Amino acid sequence: MSLTNGHSVSKETWDSHNKMLLEPLAVNDSEVFSIIKKEKHRQIYGLELIASENFASRAVLEALGSCMNNKYSEGYPGQRYYGGTEHVDELERLCQKRALEAFGLDADKWGVNVQPYSGSPANFAIYTAVVEPHGRIMGLDLPDGGVSCYSRNLDYARLKQIAGENGAYLMGDMAHISGLVAAGVVPSPFEHCDIVSTTTHKTLRGCRAGLIFYRKGVRSVDAKGKETLYNLESLINQAVFPGLQGGPHNHAIAGVAVALKQAMTPEFKAYQSQVLANCKALSGALMDLGYKIVTGGSDNHLILLDLRNKGTDGGRAEKVLEACAIACNKNTCPGDRSALRPSGLRFGSPALTSRGLVQDDFKKVAHFIHRGIELTLEIQRSMDPKAPLKEFIQALVNGETFQQRVAEIRAEVEAFAGQFPMPGLPEL
């Protein structure tokens, strides 16, 4: 018998409570379990071409779902606001060590904060740390800037020269390409940048979290030989905690640590080389089918398809492809007047490469995409050219002939995708 707020709790109630804590998800919450199972089915039997997505390994997901979720630990290793943190301190230090090693960084010249919850919080922490009141952050306009859809390598040396001429820090957000950088298959931003941020779930193939790398030591030497030192470490660490975040997500740090270990293996390097080869195969196959690729090809894991020469847009094509079990995303192209009606579709190769697809498979994927876009054009021809997206979707959903075509393509896509193994946990 136990007491709660002065009231006794029966043994039956307490036994039921304890049973609830030990039940598997399928028994304890069949509704949530059912939704997860449906999502698992979608991932297995669909073509995941969203460039910012990947399939985390079983080991990463096991770490993410571990008892590290239970521990609160505001502060940094050795300087926590809670007791019982000896093991999370050990974990965070290990994650920091692996982060530097994975990108070939000297611990005397670089530091890393592994506590950001994801990429956007990491970037905001950087801005908070280094941009003073009335300071300026320089970027490019959304349709023209590439942002998360530029398929070529960046000229970091040129950017560093411009930053240096203006006394500015050069910050690189390598969220999309961090796995490629770790594998050494694309140029690294670390040679030229002062600060580098990244998410950990895209090409790095970890769980959802963020990392901030910052330079240490000498920043510059003037004509008289006087050294100016970087002071980024304290500024960034204080911006993350206590400035913008509370306790770190230790289960996520565990998952990131596992992913970073995997990123240092020969198998991971081979995987990233295949990511590049697959993206080139997809790009080439689509161009052979008459599609225009922004920048004319790809040096990394993604491409941006410009649909203006086809007479359609990304929003309409995305909806049709989604109905056919092909996941991608609409995206602005250079020259677009509005982000509300983007002209492009963005595709990426990391997720399907994690499932074992190679170049010939991606050529087949290109033909599935082509059939979906052809259906998009067919639907458009059946209605007013100025009809809004809402009416297009209604025509797609309610048109018997169109639904038959969708069903045909979807059945072929599901049969094709279902052949390939799925990383991660068996059920969830």
- Identify the H or E element spanning 210: strand 210-215
Q: Is 103 exposed, middle or buried (0-12, 13-18, 19+ CB in 10 A)?
A: buried
Cβ-proximal residues to 17 (8 Å cutoff; 6+ apart), any chain: none
Is 301 a residue of the active site?
no
User: Cα(first)–Cα(last) distance of the chain, in Å?
Assistant: 37
DSSP letters spanning 245-276: --S--HHHHHHHHHHHHHHTSHHHHHHHHHHH
Q: Which of 95, 149, 279, 328 is catalytic?
A: 149
- Half-sphere exposure for 328 (CA within 13 Å, toward CB): 30
The region, left, alpha or beta by phi > 0 then psi within -120 to 50, assigned to residue 309 is: alpha
- Quickly count: other Cβ atoms within 10 Å of residue 29's Cβ: 14
| CA–CA gap between residue 114 and residue 93 (Å, rounded) | 9
Q: Furthest-apart CA pair in the chain: how many Å?
A: 80
Map residue 6 onto helix, strand or coil: coil
b/e per residue 351-363 (b: at least 16 CB within 10 A): bbbbbebebebbb
**Which residues are bridge partners to 331 per DSSP?**
344
Is 201 a residue of the active site?
yes
**187 upstream amide cis, omega within 30 of 0:** no
Map residue 162 onto helix, strand or coil: helix
How is residue 157 written in tokens? 């040396």
Contact call for residues 179 and 272 (beta carbons, < 8 A):
yes
Contact call for residues 359 and 43 (beta carbons, < 8 A):
no
Q: Which phi and psi angles does 128 have, rounded to 5°?
A: -60, -35
Contact call for residues 44 and 38 (beta carbons, < 8 A):
no
Q: Which of 95, 192, 193, 201 is catalytic?
A: 201
Rg for the chain (alpha carbons), in Å?
25
| CA–CA gap between residue 247 and residue 117 (Å, rounded) | 10
**Nearest alpha carbon to residue 425 among 202, 207, 272:** 207
> Which residues participate in catalysis according to the annotation?
149, 201
